[in-house]
Structure 1
Amino acid sequence: MNKRIYNALLLCVLVFSQVNVAANDDKNAIKTLLSTTTPHVQLANVYDANNDIAVSRYLVSEKFDGVRAIWTGNQFVTRNGNTINAPHWFVDVLPNVWLDGELWTKHQDFASLSGIVRTIKPNDDDWRKVSYRVFDMPDKVNPFNVRYQNYQRLVSNINQPHIVAVKQHQFTSNETLTAYFERTVQQGAEGVMLHLASAKHRDGRSSSLLKLKPYFDNEAMVIAHLPGKGKYQGMLGALRVKNSDGLEFTIGTGFSDAQRRIPPALGVTITYRYHGFTKHGLPRFASFLRVRTPE
């Protein structure tokens, strides 16, 4: 199919899907059209209070520490296009439209959730703990405040407890935003997301979508295991890692005893959290968060 024709057809499907789901005879064709090996997702920049943005122009929601899942119209995929094998009962209620959201269980439960989502043959009992938190219904036409109304309406019509519309809030000042942020983090959230209400969906990283977290995080490759001392004798003391900027440093906190006994393997990528940088440009107070899950 000519690429220009394909793109035109895709745009038509996404626009009209908000008004009317296609007739049954056309469902298979639409599912094929919406499916993609590499979904076009929007990625967030980091919120910087020094930039003095107009907070009232943004819609703000909780940032869930889940597994990003794009509903293509017929299946869940990760942002890198890998299939997520959810049970039929979980996905059969979802229509032939493009949705973006997080698969989530509860706060501070990412390791358990990751195991559930990565299973090739889904376990019904495990998946009954999971909800799909919809935070966007992307198209190339409507601004985010309209897309928010659209996904709210869609989820309400689905009327299933495991499909949840992420609530958006609006604030008039940095003080009210900060109060919401602190309250949400205290309840166990990873942070908050700020969507520019007037912005249309854009592929890739965008300043129209900002993340505000109580700490920064980044990824690094494990290059060495350093032995433990004292109560960690015979176990892992720290990881020596190298991040994407080529900086090498040591991470010695954040590990459970089980992870110290069987540490992340050499060559794997881990996610670490930190609080700014030292005068030498190294992450300050870096601590282990988790092994990165392949997407």
Structure 2
Amino acid sequence: MPRRKGPKRAAAGEDITLTKNADSLPEEKKRRKVDSDKTELKGDSTSMTVVEAGPAGFKSAIVITDSDVKLPGRKQVSYEDFTYLKDKGQPGTQVMLAHKYTDDVDPKGWWMSEKLDGLRAFWNGNNFYSRLGNKFYAPEYFTKNFPKDIQLDGELFFGRGEFSKAVSIVKSKDVDKGWDKLTFEIFDAPNIKAEFEDRIEAVADYFEKNRTPYVHVLEHVLCKGKDNIEQQLKRVETLSGEGLMIREAKSDYDFGTRSKTLLKIKSFYDAEAIVIGYEKGKGRNTGVVGALCCRMECGTKFSVGSGLNDKERKNPPKKGSIITYKFQELTKSGKPRFPTYIGVRIDMDKPKDAVLPAGKNNE
């Protein structure tokens, strides 16, 4: 495997913002100065070491605390709330993200699972957080048997093709409404000191002893090769699933990065756009929204009406909302061909275009 570059070190004397738990630390302890000859930060019960910095004022500082669970030979990132303060506009949990699968990858021996169209959620031992660091307020009964010392990465899932329903439940202020219809689909445990296979097994063992109807440890099957990928992708999509994920055997959890050890496989592309207006409905949709007027990250404008249900047409996503849509390819003018609305993204605040391989752009 290619050797990974080590993390950047803090600049001496640089003023940064750090926290183990933004809600529990006093205000005066949220800011620290790096000593002229050290990168270790002291001042409360746990010393913290800066191991990675953003380009301006440590906007994305990553810290290690004494209580971290480290993987062998790797500088691991983990702390109580696993979130950053939002004062510099760079919030977020540093979850591991996937690259897209390409034909030059031999998937034989990788672990294969279904790609779920749920809401990404990170359990830090106390609460759920989104990729942006926003807290999800799950009812107590839902998390009753969850571990306090194991971090869990997964998705809050309603069912195939039901992304919008999952979002509606999670963002609702009424925490008792609908959570019993969700499951937390777990696909990793970032702070366990082990390889991928052992991390998943440890989580399965924990929930075998601490049973709950609201947790499912996602099944992973050993991939036999590219033909196996095609067979399973066709099966999942026939069941209205989103696609597949494959994970390299014995791999680490790569915090805060898009990892080459985790790949996503789909027969369509998806992206995020911002809602800027509405088109009036015609025919059976007279009197309600016919389509959402959207703008892509690149600035291209397009409309999407397919995928909206009757409820969403009566009460469409607000202007400024970020939505996810899927499409087959881009037209010569750069617009998505046959776009379909999937749902509102409450874990994103900016549009994001899909990256298409050579030969798929502007067809």
Partner residue, 1:18? none
**Contact kept in structure 2, 1:253 and 1:288, CA below 8 Å:** yes
Partner residue, 2:233? 181
Does 2:49 align with 1:4?
yes
Supply the distance in 2 between the matched residues of 1:104 and 1:177 (Cα, whole angstroms).
23
Partner residue, 2:159? 106
Supply the distance in 1 between the matched residues of 2:210 and 2:299 (Cα, whole angstroms).
48
Letter in 2 for 1:9: D
Does 2:341 align with 1:288?
yes
Pick from 144, 162, 185 the counterpart of residue 196 of structure 2: 144
Supply the distance in 1 between the matched residues of 2:228 and 2:197 (Cα, whole angstroms).
20
Supply the distance in 1 between the matched residues of 2:276 and 2:312 (Cα, whole angstroms).
16
Structure 1, unpaired ranges of 5+: 16-31
SS of residue matched to 2:302:
strand
Does 2:82 align with 1:36?
yes
Supply the distance in 2 between the matched residues of 1:164 and 1:271 (Cα, whole angstroms).
25
Supply the distance in 2 between the matched residues of 1:120 and 1:266 (Cα, whole angstroms).
21
Supply the distance in 1 between the matched residues of 2:112 and 2:96 (Cα, whole angstroms).
16
Deviations 1:185-218 (A, max 9, x none): 2223221111112321112212211111232111
Sort the Cα spacing of 1:279 and 1:127 in 2 relative to 1 into closer, same or farther, 3 A.
Answer: same
CA RMSD of aligned residues (A): 2.6
Sort the Cα spacing of 1:268 and 1:115 in 2 relative to 1 into closer, same or farther, 3 A.
Answer: closer
Question: What is the aligned residue count?
Answer: 276
Q: Which has the higher contact order (CA 8 A, sep 6+)?
A: 1
Letter in 2 for 1:44: A
Partner residue, 2:150? 97
Letter in 2 for 1:7: I
The Cα shift of 1:55 comes to 0.8
Deviations 1:123-149 (A, max 9, x none): 1x6322222111101138533233222
Does 2:323 align with 1:270?
yes
Sort the Cα spacing of 1:163 and 1:222 in 2 relative to 1 into closer, same or farther, 3 A.
Answer: closer
Letter in 2 for 1:177: I
User: Under a length normalisation based on structure 2, what TM-score does the superposition of the two structures give?
Assistant: 0.69
Structure 2, unpaired ranges of 5+: 1-41, 51-62, 72-77, 84-91, 349-363
Sort the Cα spacing of 1:249 and 1:130 in 2 relative to 1 into closer, same or farther, 3 A.
Answer: closer
**Contact kept in structure 1, 2:163 and 2:342, CA below 8 Å:** no
SS of residue matched to 1:4:
strand
**Contact kept in structure 2, 1:67 and 1:114, CA below 8 Å:** yes
**Contact kept in structure 1, 2:138 and 2:175, CA below 8 Å:** yes
Pick from 108, 133, 139 the counterpart of residue 81 of structure 1: 133
SS of residue matched to 2:278:
strand
**Which is richer in helix?**
1
Supply the distance in 1 between the matched residues of 2:226 and 2:286 (Cα, whole angstroms).
48
Supply the distance in 2 between the matched residues of 1:238 and 1:108 (Cα, whole angstroms).
19
Sort the Cα spacing of 1:250 and 1:120 in 2 relative to 1 into closer, same or farther, 3 A.
Answer: closer
Deviates more, 1:194-203 or 1:259-268: 259-268
Identity of counterpart residues, as a percentage? 30
